[in-house]
Amino acid sequence: MSGVTGTEQDGTGHDGTGRRPRPAVVTPAAGPGGPYKVVIVGTGFSGLGMAIALKRNGIHDFVVLEKAGEVGGTWRENTYPGCACDIMSLLYSYSFEPKSDWSRMFPEQRELLAYIKDIVAKYDLEQHIRFRTEVTGAEYEDATDTWRVTVDGAGAADGEVVRGRTLVAGMGPLHHPSVPDLPGLENFGGTTFHSARWDHDYDLTGKRVAVVGTGASAIQFVPKIAGKVGRLTVFQRTPPWILPKPDRRISGVERALFRRVPGVQRAYRNGVYLVQESFVLGFKNPRLLKAAGSLARLHLARQVPDPELRRRLTPDYTMGCKRTLVSSDYYPALTRPNVELTTAGIAEVREHSIVAGDGTEHEVDAIIFGTGFHVTDAFEDAHIVGRHGLRIQDAWKDGMRAHMGVTVAGFPNLFLLIGPNSGLGHNSMIFMIEAQIRYVLQCLKLLDARGGSRIAVRDDVEDRFNRWVQRKSEGAVWVAGGCRSWYLDADGVNRAAWPASTVNYWLRTRRIDPSDFEIGRVATAGR
């Protein structure tokens, strides 16, 4: 982060002096039917960060494709009651765009979305964004070394294809809600929705509501709806480890200091970063998390006096195996007289009820799924075709993987942001995003310097990196901690989590090795 990782940490053109680079000469945009230099998918932190970096490096010939009608990514999609970030606001923001007037230590969804929109306005990004334009597929064209991106939606013409020399997938891994295939769910006569598709038109007041899942989203919205509904039944499969949330309003004095003395905010940000980063030590040495585990148990004991309820809320796996959550109001919500925690599983769903695994029937008017997202299987139905007709499903038949989570062998000029094995369970993803953006920029500069039209990571380099990832994951808490999580695929192999420190990732992506890549050119590349 700023002040921790040196002068090249953001990939946005800063020279380490604090000065912004001089305005670059604007390059012409793609003409009718011509390829853009870069096509970006998504307007969350990763897609917008890539767009900003391109502009700061004098590249203006790009387009950003967005399926929705506004920017925001995760923070546009998730609008459930209580939606907030579980990383402190001073860290969960671009290092090159600190916000001095955050209202709380942990930013809520509305404030994060406002921050994103302010960034779009400041960097004049909207002129590059095509809203209501959903990507339905992408195919690499060998004859021209370009990507043909098929699009649909109100912002796209029938059968339209957007062409780009480079394709950057910045839609992130958490955008396909996962809904369990419960027996009889199709027969349910009430209302159902996922937390990421919250039905704000449905009035929960006085209703009998079932919540399926107790992950990061559920522990935020359950306390907000518990006092509103008539009856709330929470179906828990695995209890999460929960630490108290040190949230509070940021005082006017603090905001004034951040505004007038930027070094104070940088120091605070760096301090938060280092505290978060310290948790990585426990991933390979779970004994080091013993103090945190004791704090979590004390937190539970203080907030849940009923010993039986406390027993059902106590995890039986090692802390860190799943993402450790933070909340100071979830446990109290479960002790309310109108709230029941069920741990017997779900046997079936009937027209007006859910039958638990122990045979108990719970009459409900609505079912809310807090069951997370498709991560390790997110590309199962994706239509992405690389060089010589290679389908992404065939390239990943043994599991998804990418060199540094960014480049995939056999898919030239394709870059993934927050790709395989670059997810975190302990720190800010924006740190990783900025490192990856810098990595992509280096690849583009190398390609231009060599006069090439395509760049792709070598097979052996990707293989070596993947072996390192899996070797580093051996014995790690998310593999050997006794739980199942979104970090692992169906075979129990780590396909999502970065297996080392974020400093390690920053060092590995700080300078690319040209020998890691195959660079080529076709005769038509200069057209």
Residue range 312-352, pLDDT digits in tens: 999 999 898 888 999 999 999 999 999 999 999 999 999 99
Indicate if the pLDDT at residue 26 is higher than 80.
Answer: no
Task: Kindly state the average pLDDT of the residues 14-39.
Answer: 51
CB neighbours of residue 334 within 10 Å: 23
The residue with greater pLDDT, 373 or 87, is: 87
Asked if residues 125 and 140 have their Cβ atoms less than 8 Å apart, the reply is: no
Round the average pLDDT of the chain to a whole number and report it.
Answer: 90
pLDDT reading at 507 higher than 60: yes
pLDDT of residue 280: 86
What integer is the mean pLDDT of 473-481? Answer: 84
Q: Tens of pLDDT along 347-357?
A: 999 999 999 99
In order of their start, the domains of the chain are 36-176+374-460+497-520 (3.50.50.60), 185-241+280-369 (3.50.50.60)
**Measured distance CA(66)–CA(72) in Å, rounded:** 10
Q: Are 436 and 170 in contact (CB under 8 A)?
A: no
Q: What is the mean pLDDT of residues 486-515?
A: 93
Residue 297 has pLDDT above 50, yes or no: yes
Confidence at residue 20, expressed as pLDDT on a 0 to 100 scale: 36
- Supply the pLDDT for residue 33: 58
Residue 171 pLDDT class (50, 70, 90 cuts): confident
CB neighbour burial string for 209-235, b if at least 16 within 10 angstroms, e if fewer: bbbbbbbbbbbbbbbebbeebebbbbb
Residue 4's pLDDT is: 28
Residue 478: which pLDDT band, with cuts at 50, 70 and 90? Answer: confident
Lowest average pLDDT, out of 234-248, 328-342, 410-424, 476-490, goes to 476-490
Per-residue pLDDT, 523 = 64
Bridge partners, 164 (sequence order): 36, 147
Cβ count within 10 A of residue 205: 8
Instruction: Flag the least confident range among 12-16, 114-118, 140-144, 267-271.
Output: 12-16
Banded model confidence at residue 27, pLDDT cuts 50, 70, 90: very low
- Region 39-67 average pLDDT: 97
Nearest-angstrom CA–CA distance, 54 and 64: 12
The tens digit of pLDDT for each residue in 418-445 reads 999 999 988 999 999 999 999 999 999 9
Task: Reduce the secondary structure of 445-458 to three states and give it as a string.
Answer: HHHHHHCCCEEEEC
* Distance linking the first and last C-alpha atoms of the chain: 41
Rounded CA separation 373/323 (Å):
14
Is residue 41 over pLDDT 50? yes
H or E segment to which residue 309 belongs? helix 307-312
